[in-house]
Amino acid sequence: MTRDAATTSRIMSAVRNRDTGPELRLRKELHRRGLRYRLHPRVFGRPDLVFPRAKVAVFVDGDYWHGNTWRIRGAKSFDAYFADRAHGDFWRDKISKNMARDEEVNQHLGQAGWRVLRIWESAVQANVENAADQVEHEVRERRGDARRGA
């Protein structure tokens, strides 16, 4: 099947990069637990959620766009997953660049004193409580350290 550029552009523009289902589920669970956060702030890398006082940045990463789908689908490796796919080289390169950018963001924020949490959309879908536990633990721990002056 061959698509023209306009059709591909229309399809890709419909892919959400914020307020996704998994992100909304995680936000709802965190709010239910009494945790308050900022959404899509002007912090390097544009995290999905931030807890400014605790300096915790949370990204809810899509499995496909950030390089986890091959694990979920049982491929032998990232490269093997794309080997037999239509336009496999293009998608492998695109997603590899996303993964490199993710690492750059992690390093930049880490050097600025932020704790970066990257949570797979599949982890939220499988068990939102476990995903929220990770975030809550980190936020409360870092807030506790801040209160003690450490």
What does each of the 150 residues of the chain score in pLDDT, given as a tens digit? Answer: 556 667 656 655 555 567 899 999 999 999 999 999 999 888 999 999 999 999 999 999 999 999 999 988 889 999 999 998 889 899 999 999 999 999 999 999 999 999 999 999 999 999 999 999 999 999 999 998 444 443
CA distance 2 to 22: 31
Residue 67: what residue type? G
Domain CATH for 47 = 3.40.960.10
Residue 60 falls inside a structural domain: yes
Residue 52 falls inside a structural domain: yes
Residue 1 falls inside a structural domain: no
Residue 9 falls inside a structural domain: no
* Model pLDDT, residue 146: 44
Residue 70 falls inside a structural domain: yes
Domain count across the chain? 1
* Model pLDDT, residue 116: 98
* Model pLDDT, residue 85: 87
Which of helix, strand or coil describes residue 148?
helix
The answer for residues whose C-beta is within 8 angstroms of residue 12's C-beta and 6 or more apart is: none
Residue 79 falls inside a structural domain: yes
Q: What is the dihedral of CA 15, 129, 95, 2, to 10 degrees?
A: -40
* Model pLDDT, residue 41: 86
Instruction: Residue 102: give the domain boundaries.
Output: 18-149
Residue 127 falls inside a structural domain: yes
